[in-house]
Copies of this chain bind each other. A is one copy, B any other.
Amino acid sequence: MSDFQILPNHGLGWLDASGEHADIVLSTRIRLARNLQGHAFGPRARVNDREAVLEQTRRAMAKVELLAGSRLLELPNLDRRTRGMLLERRLASRELLGDVKEGPSRATAVLLAAQDPLSVMVNEEDHLRLQGLLSGLRLKEAWNLVDRLDEELGQELPYAYHHEFGFLTSCPTNVGSGLRASVLVHLPGLVLTKEIGKVLQGLGQVGLTFRGLYGEGSEVVGNFFQLSNQTTLGKSEEELVDHLDKIIRQVIQYEDQARQVLLRDAPQVTEDKIWRAYGLLRYARSLPFEELMNLLSGIRLGVGLKLLPELRVYTLNKLMIFTQTAHLEQAAGRDLSPGECDAHRAAYVRSILSKEGPATPDSGIEQTDSPTEG
C-alpha cells in the first residue's frame, strides 16, 4: 500500500517552466537552516530532543498562516517508495531518508505547505530546514517566500540565535543567515566548448560552489549543475541572494555565448548530436537513468537552440522527474528490478515524446537532396 496519494502534486510546481530563463535555469531553491533553543543540534541530538522538536513544529504549524492546510509527513510512517519520491522531488535529502536498510531515524519529517513551493525538513542536519523551490531563475521571489515563512515560524518557535554570529546551526558553515540559495542550471554549451572548468573555477573565486542534481556529494550528470553560495557569514541574506543572482546571470550569458560558438563552429555536429539524442529517446527500449540524463541534456540544448521548437521545457522537466526509480515503481504499482526500471523508463519517455515531441521530425538541413531512385 503506497502513500502516493498524500503527495500527488507536491513539489512539482517548478516543472511548469514558468520562471525566467527556464530552459537554462531549471529551478531556484532557497533554504534556511534553523534550530530550536533548548535542544541539542545535529548528531548530538538524542531521540527526546528530536521528538520535542517535531512536537514543537507540529504545534507551531497550526498557528502559522502560510502553513494553513499543510501536512506533516513523518518519514518512519511512509513506505519506502513514497520516501523515494520525496527525494526525487527534492523535498527530502538523502540524509533525511537515512540508511537504505535501516530507513529514516525517529522523528524525521517533511512538512509540505499547501502552497506548493514551500516545505520544511524536520530533524535533518538542523532541526528545521525551510525550503522554497520555484521554476526558473527567481531568487528574489523564492527568498521573499521563504523569508516570510521564516518570520512567521520564528514567532512561534524559539530559534537558536546569537547576537554576534546570527542563527546557530549544526555545521559551522551554515552559521549566520543559515541561507543556502541554489539554482539548478543546464550548461551543455560550456561543457561542449570545454569552457566549463574555467567557469567553475571562477565561481569558486566569487564564493559559489557547485554540486550535482541531488545536492551534496552527488555527481554531475547530463550537464546539470547546482550552483549555490558557499558562505553564509558576514553578509545579509539580501546581499547573498543579489550576489548569486548577478553571478548566475553572468553564467547564463557565458552559456549563451558558448552555444553561439557551437552553432558557428560546429553546426552540423551539434545538430546531429541533438537529433541523435532525440532518436534514441524516441525509440530505445531500455534507458539507464544516467544515459537518459545525458540524452535529455542533448534535446534540452536543442530546445534552447530552437532546433526542436515544438518540444516544451515542461516536457523536458517532466521527463527528468517521472523517470526516477521511485516514480517509475509508483506508476507500475510494484517494485522493479534495475532492468525492468530501464525498460519502464524507456517506455515512459517514448509515450511522452510520441505525444509531446516534434510533429515533423524530418525538418532540417539538406532535406530536398534525396537521390532519385531511377
Cβ of A247 to closest chain B Cβ, rounded Å: 34
In the complex, A269→B342 CA distance in Å? 11
Whether B347 pairs with A370 at a CB distance below 8 angstroms is yes
Whether A332 pairs with B282 at a CB distance below 8 angstroms is no
Whether B284 pairs with A279 at a CB distance below 8 angstroms is yes
Cβ of A345 to closest chain B Cβ, rounded Å: 10
Mask, A68-112, CB within 8 Å of B = 1, is 000000000000000000000000000000000000000000000
Copies in the complex: 2
Interface residues of A in 339-374 (CB under 8 A from B): 339, 343-344, 346-348, 350-352, 354, 361-362, 364-367, 369-374
The interface residues of chain B lying within 8 Å CB-to-CB of A318 are 373
Count of interface residues, chain A, beta-carbon cutoff 8 Å: 47
Instruction: Apart from A279-B283, A328-B371, A352-B370, list 15 A-B contacts with CB within 8 A.
Output: A268-B343, A275-B284, A275-B285, A276-B280, A276-B283, A278-B279, A279-B280, A279-B281, A279-B284, A283-B361, A318-B373, A327-B371, A332-B371, A347-B364, A351-B367
Between-chain CB contacts (< 8 Å), 14 pairs: A12-B374, A271-B285, A272-B285, A275-B284, A275-B285, A276-B280, A276-B285, A279-B283, A322-B373, A331-B369, A347-B367, A347-B370, A350-B367, A351-B370
